[in-house]
Amino acid sequence: MLDALMAVEPSLGDQREQVERMSAAVAEGGPLADLDLASLGGRDGSPRHLNLLTLHSAKGCEYDVVIMVGLDLGSLPWRNEAPAAQRESRRLFYVGITRARDEIHMLYSGFVDTRFGRQYWGRSPFLNELEVRMREAEGD
């Protein structure tokens, strides 16, 4: 099924690993297996459509359920990003979060493919920042 999807939507080719992780998450036995996929309808609200968007293209859109994948250190922010670029990555992270009306699911594996092979780098520091801000908000 994934190969058919990639053939129809070539722009997903560079996101294949993320799509494979998402497919595994919603597959039987995966952490999101019980998620009601019918509630993830596409732009037209049809339960037969699922939108896969980049953070850039999600700006201005809203969905009942948002699933953000690839929230790994080395992916968001990109490895060795300059401080100005990290600010932009952080802004895009918050754009993604604010697209959700009802639910948001954030996925990361912690593993990044490097020229030295697959290495565990951990999750995006933006997730840690979000947790701190949420705790601060609860304390108010």
pLDDT at 45 (0 to 100): 54
Taking the CA atoms of the chain, what radius of gyration do you get in angstroms? 16
Burial class (CB in 10 A: 0-12, 13-18, 19+), 30: middle
- Statement: residue 12 has pLDDT above 70: no
Query: Is the sign of the CA dihedral 74, 78, 82, 86 positive or negative?
Result: negative
Average pLDDT, whole number, for the chain? 79
| Choice between 117 and 43, residue whose per-residue pLDDT is larger | 117
Q: What is the pLDDT of residues 108-132, one digit of tens each?
A: 888 888 888 888 888 999 999 999 9
Kindly report whether the global pTM for this prediction surpasses the value 0.85.
Answer: no
